[in-house]
């Protein structure tokens, strides 16, 4: 889940997971952190791991609803699946 940490922290974690043998990694974010999740995916696939034939395999968007202080709140979410191209 992408949050308040710097983009490079998430990109490095993603690259470690892929180098450890995972063929796919999911990046998930909600609300204002959606743009940061997209930045992480772009940084990982086009700069950090460009020689590993990675791409965004799937993108899912949704809305989560929850109650906060008696009000119904809707928050947008994004799930990005990063994986090796066969």
- Rg, the chain, Cα only: 14
Domain residue extents for the chain: 7-84
Query: How far does CA 25 lie from the centroid of its chain?
Result: 8
- Give the pLDDT score at 10: 93
Listed in sequence order, the DSSP H helices in 20-84 are 34-43
Beta strands in 31-70 (DSSP E): 54-68
H or E element in which residue 1 lies: none
Cα–Cα distance, 77 to 31 (Å, whole number): 6
In this prediction, the residues of the chain whose per-residue pLDDT falls under 70 are: 86
H or E element in which residue 84 lies: strand 71-84
- Give the pLDDT score at 85: 78
CATH 3.30.110.20 matches 7-84: yes
């Amino acid at each position: 889940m992408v949050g308040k940490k710097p983009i490079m922290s998430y990109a490095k974690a993603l690259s470690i997971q892929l180098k450890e043998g995972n063929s796919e990694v999911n990046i998930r974010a909600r609300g204002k952190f959606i743009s940061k999740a997209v930045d992480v995916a772009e940084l990982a696939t086009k700069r950090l791991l460009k020689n590993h034939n990675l791409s965004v395999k799937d993108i899912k968007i949704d809305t989560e609803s929850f109650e906060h202080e008696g009000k119904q709140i809707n928050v947008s979410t994004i799930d990005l699946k990063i994986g090796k191209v066969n």
